[in-house]
Amino acid sequence: MTLRIAYSPCPNDTFVFDAWAHGRVPCAPALDVTFADIDITNGMAERGEYDVLKVSYAVLPWVLDEYALLPCGGALGRGCGPLVLTREVGTDLAGKTVAVPSERSTAYLLFRLWTADVVPGGVGKVVVMPFHEIMPAVRDGKVDAGLVIHEARFTYQDYGLHCLADMGEHWESVTGLPIPLGAIIAKRSLGDETLRLLAESARTSVRMAWEDPEVSRPYVLEHAQEMDPAVADQHIGLYVNEFTSDLGPDGYAAVRGLLTRAAAEGLIPPLGRDALSFV
C-alpha cells in the first residue's frame, strides 16, 4: 500500500518524516510525498485530495468529517508562536494592512484572537501571501505589518524588522496552554487499523530522527530553501518536541481550547463533541 501524503518542505516536517519517507520505518506504508506550503495543504484537505496531510489546526472544523486527527507527528509547543513584524517599533495596527500566510491557518486564528484583545477597532486590510514573501513585503513598505511563522522567528532581524507582538506569548499568558500549530490528519476511510498503523509509523519516524539526527540532515537541507543549517537546527529544536511524539492531555486541551475559543468568537464553525477523538 502506497499512501499519498503532503507536507511542507520546512525542517520540522522533513525531520519528522525522513525515516518513514525513505522506507526505514518497519511495517509502515510506503509514502508518495508532495511538498506544499501550509495554505496549499489546507486547501487539499478541504477538497479531500490526499490520504495524509500536514495542515493547520485552524482548518480542522472544515475537514474532520472526512479526516481523523492523528495523535502525533504535528507541531505544538511553547515559545514557538507566530510573530507580528513591523518596520518601526510600536506600530499601531488600527486600520493598517497586514500580510498573513493563510486565512485558514492557526497563525491567523491566534492573530485574530490577539487583535480582538489589543487592537480596538481591528486592523484595516488582511492580504494572504506565501510566508517567504511576507518579510520582504514588510521591509519594502508594501504592507504595514506581517504575520510570520516557521524560521522567520530566527531571521526577521536580518530584514531590519521589529517584533511587535508574539502570538504564542499572548496565547500562553491567557490560557496557560501550549500553542497548537500544525496537525497530521488521515482519511477516515482508510479504516481504524490503518489509522493506528499511521500513528505508530509517524511516532516511530520521529523517534528514529531523534536517535540519530545526522541521518535526516541531507533530506532536511535539500528542502530547506537555502536555509542556514544552524537555523534549520533551531527550527527543528523548537517545533519538534514531546507533543510531536504524542499530543497527550495537554496537547488535546490546547487544540480544543484554541478551536473552542475561536468558535466562540465566530471565526470558525464549532467542533462536534467527539471530533478530535482517535480510533
Residues at the binding site are: 54-56, 106-107
The annotated binding site for substrate is made up of 54-56, 106-107
Q: Is 141 exposed, middle or buried (0-12, 13-18, 19+ CB in 10 A)?
A: exposed
Q: Supply φ then ψ for residue 276, to 5 degrees.
A: -90, 0
Enzyme catalytic residues: 150
User: Which residues are within 8 A (CB) of 279 and not within 5 positions of it... i.e. 6 or more apart?
Assistant: 68, 192, 195, 196
Query: How far is 129 from 263, CA to CA, in rounded Å?
Result: 24
User: Position of cell 543549517?
Assistant: 229
Q: Is 150 helix (H, G, I), strand (E, B) or coil?
A: coil
Q: Rounded to 5 degrees, what angle do the CA atoms 55, 57, 62 make? A: 85
